[in-house]
Amino acid sequence: MDYIKINRLVTTSIYKQIASGITEAIDSGLLKYGDKLPTEKEICQAFSISHTVVKMAYENLIVEGKIKRIKGKGTYVTNRANFHTDLHAFYEVDIKNNDSKIKYNTEVVLFDRIVKDYSAYRALKLENGEKCYKIVTLTKSEQNPIVLQKIYLPEKLYPNFLNCYNSFDKLYDFLESDCCNKKINGLHSIFSAINVSAPDALLLNLNNDEAISFIRTKIEDKNDEIIAYVCSYFPGDLSEFEVIVHAI
């Protein structure tokens, strides 16, 4: 708790000093996602201050998305990564963040060629036994996982794929490149809330069955053929979705 420092001889409110100390510890990496914070009672006893002051500090940090309370367990660092991206292209993880200090990194954690996957094969209208490329990517911000994506591409539609595959930072551009020679005409996405599975929880640094946002996207070409299927998994406390409707 040495990241909290109280100076009663300055004009800055004590609750702001507490909030500032915790914020600086999070921003510097001293406190990381998932770290448990001291209870309000412990802070009160350590600095001989009122419960109301500590409560105000914690409530401000919750509003700012720095920490979260889990009933019956305690208060934890969440340091939500705020980013914005157009709805029609969010699956590319082409992140436009508000804080230039935040760095993002996307890595391929699995590359495989499969012959069955019920949900993916159903979406792509493939028969069991037909081969399909499966690429799993994980994007992190400050080492905090912010999105896990599973990308499925039917092998029969991409005969040159293995010769030119590079990365999926820009999936849209890759599909329309000379390598794939596809022309994207549209996509259909379904948003839902689910409980994360144990394998995905490990990659996303979450507890089993924790709530996450799940988006399934079918990408179609100019002939309305489904040429790719993308499953995106966003930790519930690390993402927000906003839709802006413009009146004409």
Give domain status of residue 225, yes or no.
yes
Q: pTM for this structure?
A: 0.70
Same domain, 234 and 135: yes
Return the number of other C-beta atoms located less than 10 Å from residue 242's C-beta.
6
Same domain, 64 and 99: no
pLDDT tens-digit map of 206-247: 878 888 989 999 999 988 899 999 999 988 665 566 666 666
Same domain, 131 and 215: yes
What's the domain range around 48? 14-77
Domain boundary among 52, 77, 102: 77
Under a CB-based contact definition with an 8 Å cutoff, are residues 57 and 18 in contact? yes
Count of domains forming the chain: 2
What backbone phi and psi angles, to 5 degrees, belong to 144?
A: -95, 120
Check residue 85 and give its pLDDT.
57
Same domain, 186 and 219: yes
Same domain, 228 and 119: yes
pLDDT tens-digit map of 89-133: 555 544 444 455 566 788 889 999 999 999 999 999 999 899 999
Same domain, 39 and 106: no
Domain boundary among 77, 97, 123: 77
Domain boundary among 38, 62, 77: 77
Dmax (CA) of the chain: 73
Same domain, 130 and 183: yes
Same domain, 24 and 139: no
Give domain status of residue 2, yes or no.
no
